[in-house]
Amino acid sequence: MASLSARALAHLITGWRDLAIGPAYAALADRVRLLILDGRIALGTRLPAERELAAQLGLSRTTVSAAYADLRASGHLDSVRGSGSVARLPRASGYVHDTLATDQLDFSKATLPSHPAVADAAVRATATLPSFLGESGFDTLGLRVTRQAIADRYTARGLPTDPDEVLITIGAQHAIGLLATTLLSRGDRAIVESPSYPHAIEALRGAGARLVTVPVTADEGWDESALEQAFQRTSPVVAYLMPDNHNPTGATMPRAQRERIVALAAEQGTTLVIDETIGALELDGQDPEPPFATLGRAVLIGSVGKSVWGGLRIGWIRADRELIQRVARHRFMTDLGTPVLEQLILVELLADFDRILADRRDYLRASRDHLVELLRERMPEWHVPHVAGGITTWVNLGLPISSQLALAARTEGLVIAAGSRFGVEGLFERFIRIPFTYPPEVLDRGVDALAKAWRAVTRSPMPVADGDYAQIA
């Protein structure tokens, strides 16, 4: 049975007492409950003993005991003789289970519905499948025809690429994990943006990396001074960046800043891992940036999960031949290749990819505008930034209660990730990520649920910095 130390749990719930309303035990229970619901505490994990957690947090054991009792009452902890307190989901309660009811919305996933081209591409790919049935199906590099199609697209975008510089993966997350375990050793430093894609953070940590964070905001983008200091002071082995329509802020990195990062990485011997999965989704008519590697050495990650359909589990890595071979050899420890049929579907989609992306941009632009109008009308106290590209908006709530809002939203039938899900140290309690990948009627329901949850969590007076109280209407 997996277990969570008191120190590790304290790290996960950093900031749990900030502006907490009500008794401390309830605030502590709420934060642990959210971690279980978000999957950051895996089901079946043994939580630390009450005495150990109380000592780590500087609380009385009575407070921690009351929090654990609250979690047991809501069905999120089981007390098992000889095993302590174990995380689980309630069997029957008002909380959301893993399988959502049909009338519940899941905004924790920023995903588009499948593009109509997928079905047609699948039919055409199935027709070509027989010519590949004589092969083994086990290939850690990927089909030559698929790698050629991706190489041709990079070449057309201004980055000459050979098929031997491409490796096909089971989605972008698989690519991140493969690169992390290939490039990193325990204790190596790795730069990540703050906020960043949560599963990338997990993959880097899982490979033993010591993370170095660099701030990025929706309004101002990347902190260039912090970037320079991060490279020069820590000499990172890897820097994982998402410079195009960044998730979750939507920011896009200017050309001059990209050139500076390439130079900094070259000086320090850092491998740049550039996540392009939300590239080419510019929404205001601006031209997309060319591939990052046109400026210098960089490893590129791509997929169709965010642009075409999340159910098409296929991605790729574009890198120099030596690294591609290293990744392919390393891959044998985890899996033996990417499904052939999905690779053939990708080949069919890439032949019409520009039209598909144009359709997606039109859809996302309309959804973005609809969501922004709703949020500014229903929650005028929130700061909703203008997002020029991507699939999400990173909203500033004005109060550090994102986790409370996420919990309250679940009681209104909406699953949404708290801002702290995108931070390394439990930060971003003032923010929440809202995807605009859904049609207008779904966005209407989601914003209605958020508005009800917001009223619920701000109904009581909220403490402010000077010690007075501000009533939120």
Phi and psi torsions of 211, nearest 5°: -85, 140
Question: What is the model's pLDDT at position 18?
Answer: 66
Phi and psi torsions of 84, nearest 5°: 80, -150
Please indicate, yes or no, whether the overall pTM of this predicted structure exceeds 0.75.
yes
Question: What is the model's pLDDT at position 188?
Answer: 98
* 415, containing H or E segment: strand 414-415
Question: What is the model's pLDDT at position 204?
Answer: 97
Q: Is 38 exposed, middle or buried (0-12, 13-18, 19+ CB in 10 A)?
A: middle
State yes or no: pLDDT of 100 exceeds 80: no
Phi and psi torsions of 59, nearest 5°: -115, 165
Question: What is the model's pLDDT at position 98?
Answer: 41
Strand 299-303 vs strand 315-318: parallel, antiparallel, or unpaired? antiparallel
> Alpha helix (H) ranges present in 333-401?
340-350, 353-378
Q: What is the mean pLDDT of residues 404-416?
A: 93
Strand 84-87 vs strand 105-106: parallel, antiparallel, or unpaired? unpaired
Question: What is the model's pLDDT at position 296?
Answer: 97
Which tens digit of pLDDT belongs to each residue from 260-299? 999 999 999 999 999 999 999 999 999 999 999 999 999 9
Least confident of 24-33, 204-213, 335-344, 378-387: 24-33
The CATH class given to the 6-87 domain equals: mainly alpha
Q: Name the β-bridge partners of 239.
A: 191, 272
Identify the CA nearest to 396 among candidates 211, 202, 195, 242: 195
Question: What is the model's pLDDT at position 36?
Answer: 85
- Angstrom distance (rounded) from CA 465 to CA 364: 38
At residue 89 the predicted structure's pLDDT band, cuts being 50, 70 and 90, is confident
- Amino acid at residue number 427: L
Token look-up 């905004």 returns 107
Instruction: Name the residue ranges covered by the structural domains of the chain.
Output: 6-87, 105-113+355-470, 117-353
Question: What is the model's pLDDT at position 397?
Answer: 96
The CATH class given to the 117-353 domain equals: alpha beta
State yes or no: pLDDT of 17 exceeds 80: no
Question: What is the model's pLDDT at position 39?
Answer: 72
Q: What is the mean pLDDT of residues 21-46?
A: 84
Q: What is the mean pLDDT of residues 152-176?
A: 98
Question: What is the model's pLDDT at position 19?
Answer: 53
Question: Of all residues in the chain, what percent carry a pLDDT higher than 90?
Answer: 79
At residue 424 the predicted structure's pLDDT band, cuts being 50, 70 and 90, is confident
State yes or no: pLDDT of 314 exceeds 70: yes
State yes or no: pLDDT of 468 exceeds 50: no
* Token pair recorded at residue 96: 């959301």
State yes or no: pLDDT of 419 exceeds 70: yes
Q: What topology does CATH give the domain 105-113+355-470?
A: Aspartate Aminotransferase, domain 1 (3.90.1150)
Q: Is 269 exposed, middle or buried (0-12, 13-18, 19+ CB in 10 A)?
A: exposed
> Alpha helix (H) ranges present in 248-337?
255-268, 321-331
At residue 44 the predicted structure's pLDDT band, cuts being 50, 70 and 90, is confident
- Angstrom distance (rounded) from CA 172 to CA 167: 11
- Angstrom distance (rounded) from CA 377 to CA 452: 14
At residue 464 the predicted structure's pLDDT band, cuts being 50, 70 and 90, is very low
Residues whose CB falls within 8 Å of the CB of residue 180, separated by 6 or more in sequence, listed in order? 190, 203, 204, 206, 207, 209, 238
Token look-up 């906020």 returns 195
* 189, containing H or E segment: strand 189-194
At residue 41 the predicted structure's pLDDT band, cuts being 50, 70 and 90, is confident
Average pLDDT, the chain: 91
- Angstrom distance (rounded) from CA 350 to CA 213: 35
- Angstrom distance (rounded) from CA 389 to CA 280: 8
